Amino acid sequence: MKLFLCEKPSQGNDIAKVLGAGTRANGCLFTADKQICVTWGIGHLVEQFQPEEYDPAFKRWSFETLPIIPSQWKLSPKKETKKQYNVVMSLIKKANSVIISTDADREGEMIARELLDIAGFKGQIFRLWLSALDDESIRKALSALKSGKETESLYYAGIGRSRSDWLIGMNFSRLFTLLAQQQGYQGSPLSVGRVQSPTLAMVVNRDREIANFIPKSHFVLITQLQTQQNQTFLAKYVVPENYLDADELCLNEPYIQQVNRDIQNIGTAIVKTVETKREKNVPPLLFALSDLQSECNRLFGMGAQQVLDIAQALYEKHKATTYPRTDCGYLPESQFKDAPKVLSTIIKVNSNWQKILPNLNVIQKSRAWNDKKITAHHGIIPTMGNVDLSVMNDDELKIYDLICRRYLAQFLPYFEVDKTLVQLQCGRHILQARGNLIIANGWKALFGNMKESEADDNQGIPSLSKNQNCQIILSEVKALKTTPPAHYTEGTLLSAMKNAARFVTDERLKQRLRETEGLGTEATRAGLIQGLIDKNFLKKKGKKILATEQANVLIDSLPDLLKNPGLTALWEQALNQIAEGSMTLADFMKKQENFIRMLMNNCLKQGINLGKIEIRKCPLCGKPMRKIQHTKGTFWGCSGYPECQHKEADKKSVSKAKKSSSANVTQQIANLRSLIK
């Protein structure tokens, strides 16, 4: 039997349709002769062991057990998908050959091969390499199957990512929580992660930048001019460089007031140059998930996870849009022939679009169709199926509408605008006027009030010619103040995660982050932000995302390597070397283990500062109290033990605490240091 192993049910259905596998069985589809079978995971069907599954001693968090580094890594089936796991494993054992048909990326390779490894599969392995799930793309890929060896290294890169993330998360979350508890901290665990920690640091740093921001007063000189035809426009005085600070602001009020008096006394300005350039703006690309999340947050105040859930419903429940968890805004060129059908569906389900039908150019092929830009999935677009808007709720309608608008925009004319720059001379002073004149709204007509706010120079400039005299009818010095950056919202935080290279100073690392699309993936960013909120590291105030005191404490205590996006860049660089075959998984993991030990030792020396977090003090010696878990109950003990043996019952504990059996904290730390040297 030939087994096609897919990543998700919808993917399996699409491939099965092309293969003619229409006989449905439990968790799979067969051809009539049962020689071909298509089955699927539901993402990952297995997960990493928890520490206590390796050794029951790891269930209790203590310094002595750190660092936890498995000698042999193990996986267990996820409880929620155990039924499908059993189906897939039984089919693998019956198969002669397996065609890996998961997403064409590192994670997709891992989803399939971890199951093949567990099953001990010894047959032939092939790879179906797909970037889109339309029939033509599937047929093309089926005719050009890769050998399993060609993509095997992607699996090792995926394993490296998974295991190293586990090592960081499990070890440093425990370490920093224990260090904090040593000082009396009793809050929720101080969770650390390769992606979540630099994300959290971005919010903490932004909050501090705003809190510490000192407004800077500066001055601009605005003039209003009039032509002989009584047409008016605004111009701004161009301050000489020697009167500007490093931020190109004029701080010298007496100087600019003197210029204002000069201009008023002269009363006229002569046009020196007039430059007008017509700009033709192409429509925005189709939505990738993070772009959709950011736009919905800006327009509707929707959270990132909320948008993902709605997009998933549009894809799975309503069959109205394509796969949402994509990082790509492009489409395969083979899908351009489907454009008339997609457009027909959009207009059929929503008669309001009838009015733009005459403006649509169905043979206009925008930049969105580009095979070279396709990743594992293409941009989110409307489907060609039967879509029923009446069964969608308001939020689903809003997001479906946005996705339709982006697609429709590809077939509308360019947005055209004439940008004019005018230089004028007033005595020895230079004035500058900028203006925009919209020539054709084109695709922007679709977005109306959805557009970002326009620039300040959106004025119409009258027809001017060189050496023309204009009268100055008004001039005014405006006192302005610089403003701090805005607090993050879910939308802007998603954008910052995707473009994390801007926070890295090393040019090589900046490039690596650009290539790997920053922090996290399209599928994980929303959940990561929500996770930070659930863990009490972030809080929402209206649309703002703010860091809690717990977040500030953790970020202040973490070494730079764990909170700098540059670490992700270094990590991805090494993982890419595994994928390319220039580094082995064993070498990578050895380096990771050494890194964990070295960094843990440094963190122990540095300790943790709890900042403004309130802690419980010992009434006898004033040292922090620690909550201690004992087989006979929970109690509070002085961290000065054994010198101070004060203890108190824990109100939440049913049994009364007896003498603490916890080892001396100082000795625990000494033991740990000896382990990781």
Exposed e or buried b per residue across 227-264, where buried means at least 16 C-beta atoms within 10 angstroms of its C-beta? beeeeebbbbbebeeeeeeeeebbebeeebeebbeebe
Q: Is 323 assigned a catalytic role?
A: yes
The whole-angstrom separation of Cα 357 and Cα 371 is 27
DSSP 8-state symbol, 56:
G
Q: Which of 280, 307, 283, 282 is nearest to 293 (CA)?
A: 307
Per DSSP, the three-state class of 640 is coil
The one-letter amino acid code at 21 reads A
Quick check: 585 and 578 in contact, CB under 8 A? yes
Q: Which of 379, 395, 295, 389 is nearest to 348 (CA)?
A: 389
- Look at the block and give the residue holding tokens 């993902």: 308
* 377, 379, 384, 388 alpha-carbon torsion, rounded to 10°: 110
DSSP 8-state symbol, 466:
T
The one-letter amino acid code at 360 reads L
The whole-angstrom separation of Cα 26 and Cα 42 is 14
The whole-angstrom separation of Cα 664 and Cα 628 is 12
Cα 364 off chain centre by: 32
Q: Which of 382, 370, 282 is nearest to 329 (CA)?
A: 370
Question: Tokens at residue 238, please?
Answer: 């161009």
3-state helix, strand, coil in the chain (%, to 5): 45, 20, 35
- The active-site residue, picked from 155, 185, 237, 323, is 323
Per DSSP, the three-state class of 326 is coil
The one-letter amino acid code at 11 reads Q
Question: Tokens at residue 96, please?
Answer: 């002669």
Task: At 611, give phi and psi (nearest 5°).
Answer: 55, -125
317: CB partners within 8 A, 6+ apart: none
User: Across the beta sheet with 647-649, what order do the strands follow?
Assistant: 625-630, 633-638, 647-649
300: CB partners within 8 A, 6+ apart: 395, 398
DSSP 8-state symbol, 430:
E
Quick check: 31 and 73 in contact, CB under 8 A? no
Distance of CA 271 to CAs 121, 233, 238, 296, 420, Å? 80, 13, 14, 45, 13
Quick check: 56 and 49 in contact, CB under 8 A? no
**Dihedral sign (CA 615, 619, 620, 622):** positive
- In sequence order, the β-bridge partners of residue 624 are 617
Active-site positions?
323
